[in-house]
Amino acid sequence: MIYDIVIIGAGASGMAAALSARSGINRPRILLLERHSRVGKKLLATGNGRCNLSNLQAGMLDHYHGSHALAQPSLAACPPDKIRAFFTSLGLETVADSEGRLYPAGDQAAGVVDVLRLSLQEWGIEVLTGFEVCGLEPSFRIAARDGRTVQGRRVILCAGGPSGEKHGGTRDGHKLLAGLGHRITPLYPALCQLKTEPEAVRALKGIKYRGSITLLENGKAVQRETGEIQFCDYGLTGIAAMALCRACAQGLAKGRDMRARLEICPASHEALMDLRDRIPGRLLEDFLTGLVSKRLGQRLLFHAGIAPLSRRADSLSEAELRRLATLLSGWTLKLTGTQPLAAAQVTAGGAAAEDFDPMTLQSRLLPGLFGAGEVLDVDGDCGGFNLHWAWASGIRAGECAAASMG
């Protein structure tokens, strides 16, 4: 049996590619290959089980990194409205939260996987699970690790990247493309925790706050994020801190000095003196309670070398208030690393953009081969942008692969 289109990987981009290819006028015969025993394993873990599947701003290129040239045509062809309409056509409604993040109306990632799985069945798309692709020949003969082979006229590679290893991430897609002569740019973790010197943060473990965080590369500010930041026993987590991971990993790999400046709350030395004078009798254990959470306030006093907490506010010296103001408005921590790629939400880097036609996502090296999703050198911000790229590029690759059948 020779299939018109064989798709490797039944994750977000692979299922979108299959459904969009099948809806073409020539109704190609499609086979979707998946190494796991079920489709959409990683999708189930997304958005803490709620699946933040897109974002109302997902059409804007500045939310993406890697190759903008490769990303732009697919994003322009598949704006958020089209992704919502795609899911509506499958029977799934989406809702936006106050920050524009799109979720399934049922608030369950499992619902997204179910409608995709059911639609694959209803649309007559063959799915082979437990088929771990280990060989892809230029003739489009595809071999599985257990010895089975299948043949396609077109192939769409949607095997994702090595991030999220415990949710099924692999390097297989990059290996298969490299075997066909495609170049792979260096891979870095994106959207994961930052490591600091542990003694600086360990006592703050578990404390979270909303504030700003700036990434400094050799002392120069290169990225600033505002949102939730949380201390953990080895460093910083929370959406705002994780957004710095990509640039931090790249800077450290180049041997740069990377630091994070925390703006916990905008308190100047003068403002703290004024506060001291307004609440002279309050004990230090509650001195910052009106500005930040009580526990964080106590830890900051400790870090500023101010003790004991049983002292009264009016005992605070100018020097102590100055140290405290520096910590509150610009506490700078040396970054020693990030969590590894396997633990990241997304892979930054991937199959080099120059080897693909951005209009069709077809390989320039091997016509008939298409790529989509995280395997390519495109990654997005936190907030639904990565899944948006997976759907948009999958739909684009599926449409173009089907159209290329004539």
Ligand X SMILES: Cc1cc2nc3c(=O)[nH]c(=O)nc-3n(C[C@H](O)[C@H](O)[C@H](O)COP(=O)(O)OP(=O)(O)OC[C@H]3O[C@@H](n4cnc5c(N)ncnc54)[C@H](O)[C@@H]3O)c2cc1C
**Residues of this chain that bind ligand X (CB under 6 A):** 8-14, 33-36, 41-42, 45-47, 51-52, 132-133, 158-160, 163-164, 167-170, 172, 345-346, 373-374, 384-387, 390
Angle of helix 318-330 versus helix 294-303 axis, rounded to 10:
120
CB nearest ligand X: which residue? 11
Asked whether 336 and 195 are in contact (CB, 8 A), the reply is yes
Side-chain-facing half-sphere of 313: CA atoms under 13 Å: 18
d(CA 143, CA 124): 23
Contact between 37 and 61 under an 8 Å Cβ cutoff? The reply is: no
At its nearest, how many Å lie between ligand X and the CB of residue 107? 12
State which residue, 10 or 275, has the beta carbon closest to ligand X: 10
State the nearest-atom distance from the C-beta of 191 to ligand X, in Å: 7
Q: Which is nearer to ligand X, 51 or 70 (CB)?
A: 51
The dihedral built from the CA positions of residue 277, 263, 296 and 310, taken in this order, carries a sign that is: negative
**Smallest distance, ligand X to C-beta of residue 122, A:** 20
Q: Closest CB to ligand X among 363 and 386?
A: 386
Q: Give whichever of 132 and 228 is closer to ligand X, judged by the CB atom.
A: 132
Cα–Cα separations (whole angstroms), residue 130 to 33, 120, 147, 168: 8, 17, 12, 13
Give the dihedral sign, CA 59/60/66/68.
Answer: positive
Whichever of 83 and 264 has its CB closer to ligand X, that residue is 83
H/E element, 214: strand 208-217
Cα separation, 381 vs 259, whole angstroms: 20
Q: Which is nearer to ligand X, 169 or 235 (CB)?
A: 169
**How far apart are CB 321 and ligand X at their closest, in Å?**
42
Which H/E stretch holds residue 331? Answer: strand 331-338
The structure tokens 């395997």 sit at 375
Signed CA dihedral, 271, 273, 279, 285: sign only = positive
Minimum CB distance to ligand X, residue 1 (Å)? 18
Instruction: Determine the straight-line distance between the first and last CA of the chain, rounded to whole angstroms.
Output: 20
Cβ at position 63, least distance to ligand X in Å: 11
Work out how close the CB of 396 gets to ligand X at its nearest, in angstroms, rounded to a whole number. Answer: 13
Tell me whether residue 11 or residue 251 sits nearer to ligand X (CB atom).
Answer: 11
Nearest-approach distance from CB 299 to ligand X, in angstroms: 29
Q: Which helix (H) or strand (E) holds 4?
A: strand 2-8
Residue with Cβ nearer ligand X (170 or 298): 170
